Structures are given as C-alpha cells and as structure tokens.
Structure 1
C-alpha cells in the first residue's frame, strides 16, 4: 500500500486546483498523491488529471456527505469555491452567489473536521469593506453589505475553518497575469488610431499579480512545509507593479508600444456596462489598500514555497502564442 499522503483537491479541473494537481504529479518523489474532486469524472479535464496519475472522485461542494466521503483518508484538502460558476435559475432564486459560497465553505469545513483532515488550505480573499468610508454613497453595496462580493464573502467564510479547529492555511490570490492578455479584463486593446493602450482602471497604484499556475505550486509548497503553516495567511504575488510598468513589460514582450492610460475606478464606474459597479469597487480597493496588499506579500516565504515563482517579465517570455493581439 502506498504511504503517500493524499491531498484532496476541490475544483481540480479549474485553474487553482488543477495547478495543485499538476504540481503534485510533477513531483513523484515528494511523498504526496492527488485526489482530484470534480462534479464530472468523465469530463476531458478530469481525464487529463487521471492520465497524470491523480485519483478522480466525484463530489459537489453543495453535498456535504459526498465531500465527507471524498475527504476520507486524506491527509490534506485544498478548498476553493467559484463565485462565478453558472447556476440554475432555481438556485439563483433561492440564494445569491455569495450565500452559495458561504454554504459551500461551511460544508467543506465541517466535512474536513469530520474526516479528520490534518491540514486544509482554504483559498480565500481579503475583506475589502474596511477600505470604503462609512456612509460612502458612491460605491454600491451588494448582497446585503458586500462591496466586492466575490472577495468579501470568501473573507467572511474564513471563520468556518477557524471555528472548525482543523489546521488551516489561508491562501490569498491576487490578480492573475492572464488578465493582462484579455482585453475584456486588464489586457491591452487597440484604440481608434490602431495603437495599443492599457487602461486597467487602477490609476497609479501598484497591483500584485501572479500566474494562475503559481497559485497551485504555492499551495503544494504549503502542504510540503506542513502543519507549521496552519493559521497563517499566504498572499501570492510574482510581481507588484504599476499599470505603467505592466505596459512597459507588455511593450517588450509584444515588440510594439503599449501606452498606459491612468484611468481610475470612477471611469469604470461611469462606463455603465453590466457589473461595472462591482468592478469599480474592486479597483477602488486596489487603490485604497495598495500598501496593505504589498505588505501581505512575503517574497522570501513565497520563493521558499515555490522556487519557480514567476515575475511578470519571465511569465510573458514563456507565452509567445498568447501575445497575438489584433
């Protein structure tokens, strides 16, 4: 019988969980094996993980009993919820996306406790609400009090893991580098004159970012380091740059000038597209919390956990096929 420590990975077919499964699979001498949790074991992504050697198990965050079974015998569990996951009309009528996340996180915390899991990594985000002045009439409020629901709800869910007593590390993502390749997110686009411009909306603030794959690699490093990481928060970032610096890096990678337009959250808020209010709130948080976000990033620890942590420049050099912008 294998003496490898099993890591149950929620969301194994997604960016975060998939990165962790691949990191475990790439280190056959590391003493760990991956149990990939997915709602559809027959999906192409699930089959790809199985081909890497992962044990694929069907489980749903809305089903606590199934989670309990999927965690059974596992040394550790990686838990992530997806605020943006498509929902049925019935589920949308019954609860908000934030309420769903809270329920799912509570299910996972209870399941981990009941299964005797020795170490949980909860993929969370910071609470943005303290950075908005009391009585702020400009920044919209959602779901009964959240400013950025996909972040604030996860921060609120931290308590389920703390109260469970299960040793938990709180892993915090920042902006994905991948967002700077998508013009619908932070990526450069062509203006009416055909010039490439970058206008992500966070003005002159320094913004922390990282490759999606590095989140999974860092999670693996946390499991390798062990329960000494319990109770700690780890904020992942490979670079912390201004918008102008991101534009400069893209200029070098593309071989074409990318001009930075220092637009701010108010410009995004005034644009009025669906979801503009929440996006503007997120950008306002980046600006207001700039120094606190940077302070949370422990570069020495991150490189210890993930020696392959990529800077934005390094990451761009590795993806020429992704840099074709028309």
Structure 2
C-alpha cells in the first residue's frame, strides 16, 4: 500500500509482481478498501516524514480501526518502546520534549500498542533496531570532524547498539505471518547484530578502506547539533545507553535468525552496500 502508486518504487514493486494499492494513513476511508480481502497487514509509520508524534499516533489508530471491518487475521505493528515507562516526564536525567515525550518517535509508537489491544486486533508487536540503512539515507554515517578525520558520532559510551538491515525486518515479518498464530499477542524483538561504536567504526574502516574512528559525545552535545530531530535522537541514544542491558537483551538475534536464516551481520551488509554510504 502506498499513497503514490505512480512513484518509481511503487512501479518497481508492480513490475516485480506485487499488487500495488493506493492508501493514505491520514485518510481512514482510504484504508478500508486497501485492507479488503487481505489476510494480514504489516503496519509501519514514518515519523521522520513529519516529526509529529501526535500524527503518528493518529495514523496507528486509523490503521488499527481499519483492520476490524476488513477481518484481518494477523496484523504486525512495527512499534518501539514507550520510554516514559522507564523515565517519567519529571525525570531530569533526560529533557522532556514537546511537553509530554522523552523520545517522541519511540513513545508514540509504544503508546499506540494499546490501540491494537483495545480493539482486539490479532497483533504481533515487532520491536526493531537501528537500521543500518541510516548510514546511507539518514545522515548517520561517518562525518568529517574539525581534525579532518572521518568519524562515526553517537552518544553511546562503551554500550552496544542493536542494528539490522531493513530487508531483514521484512523477511522476519514475512516469517511471522507464515508462522500462523504462534506470535499473535506477543512482542517479538529482533536485531542482526549488537555492536559498540568502536566495533562499527572498525567494520566501516575495513569495508571502506579508510580510517573511521568512533567519536563518543555526551547526549546533551548530540541534542545540540541543530538538525531536525537532533533532540529526539539524542534522547534516543541516551535511552539505549542508559538502559542498555534491557535494550540489547530483549532484541534476540537467534530468534531473528530462526525467522530469517539469511539474517545479515553488519560486515555482510557493508559488503553489499558500502559504496552507497556517502562520505564528505
């Protein structure tokens, strides 16, 4: 389903044999005919398109409600943790954003979980990890510092960052559908690998043939970088750092590999995509 059936990506899917249907998560009436006749739906929102957690929450509700008249037998909701369950809004370890969030693009998704539960939607709640494609499309790759050296800059200290290839998320979701009712009502958390910042930088250095260092910064410095969403991402990295035992522990690489036997490591992903990573 897509808003833009004439886009290049939609045309490529159609050429590959997919049935491309027009739908808009902001328009509930467009979802009913899109879901009609389907066995299930993999529901995914894109916070970074609009930077509005309220809009993302509404979109999730629109999709959840549309699944009922369609009689979908299985819905996979791509969610994340509501970080306010770990840190209340008055917890001054991390600034509160937009008046009621700690990590807006996490919290709205996590809050929306209850919408699916309250409606009785047969749902699997899929927790994913840092997309390695962020290095290509999201500006999260190596940047040149004041010393002229390329560096990967995240506020992680020595903690591990769960990561995964986007295509492996799709393969895991497909396997969840293929598993029938095994995962309905359950939370499934996946990753391809858990790596520290220096381990990621070393892998990038080997793949790119250039020295990449890891530049650890405090979360408050990252929040101050000034690009759209920097405060959200600074809080996100801080959450992953401060609650690392939980965040890493719940994202099960072996389960992901059972669902997707072709699950990639970071090195394998880099072997396929290293030339797509922009370097300044």
Asked if these proteins are the same fold (TM beyond 0.5), I'd say: yes
- In the alignment, is the contact (CA less than 8 A) between 2:204 and 2:212 conserved in 1? yes
- In the alignment, is the contact (CA less than 8 A) between 1:170 and 1:234 conserved in 2? yes
Report the equivalent of 2:60. 105
Change (3 A) 1:195 1:307: same
2:202 to 231, 234, 248: 248
Q: Offset at 1:106? A: 1.2
Find the residue that maps to 1:78 and give its secondary structure: strand
2:269 to 315, 320, 323: 315
Report the equivalent of 1:23. none
Measured in 2, the distance between the counterparts of 1:70 and 1:222 equals: 21
Measured in 2, the distance between the counterparts of 1:221 and 1:309 equals: 12
Are 1:65 and 2:29 an aligned pair?
A: yes
Aligned-pair RMSD on alpha carbons?
Answer: 2.0
Find the residue that maps to 1:261 and give its secondary structure: strand
Find the residue that maps to 2:82 and give its secondary structure: coil
- In the alignment, is the contact (CA less than 8 A) between 1:254 and 1:323 conserved in 2? no
Report the equivalent of 2:243. 289
TM-score by length of 1: 0.80
- What are the ranges of 5 or more consecutive residues in structure 1 without an aligned counterpart? 1-36, 87-95
Q: Offset at 1:323? A: 4.5
Q: What does residue range 1-326 of structure 1 map to in structure 2 within 5 Å?
A: 37-86=1-50, 97-132=52-87, 135-137=90-92, 139-181=94-136, 184-185=139-140, 187-323=141-277, 325-326=279-280
Q: Offset at 1:268? A: 1.3
For residues 214-254 of structure 1, give each alpha carbon's deviation from its aligned partner in whole angstroms, at most 9, with x where no partner exists.
11111111111122110111222111011011111111111
Find the residue that maps to 1:228 and give its secondary structure: coil
Measured in 2, the distance between the counterparts of 1:40 and 1:270 equals: 35
Number of aligned residue pairs: 280
Measured in 1, the distance between the counterparts of 2:41 and 2:136 equals: 31
Measured in 1, the distance between the counterparts of 2:63 and 2:137 equals: 32
Q: Offset at 1:324? A: 5.8
For residues 103-135 of structure 1, give each alpha carbon's deviation from its aligned partner in whole angstroms, at most 9, with x where no partner exists.
111111111111110000011111112333663
- What are the ranges of 5 or more consecutive residues in structure 2 without an aligned counterpart? none
Q: Offset at 1:183? A: 8.3
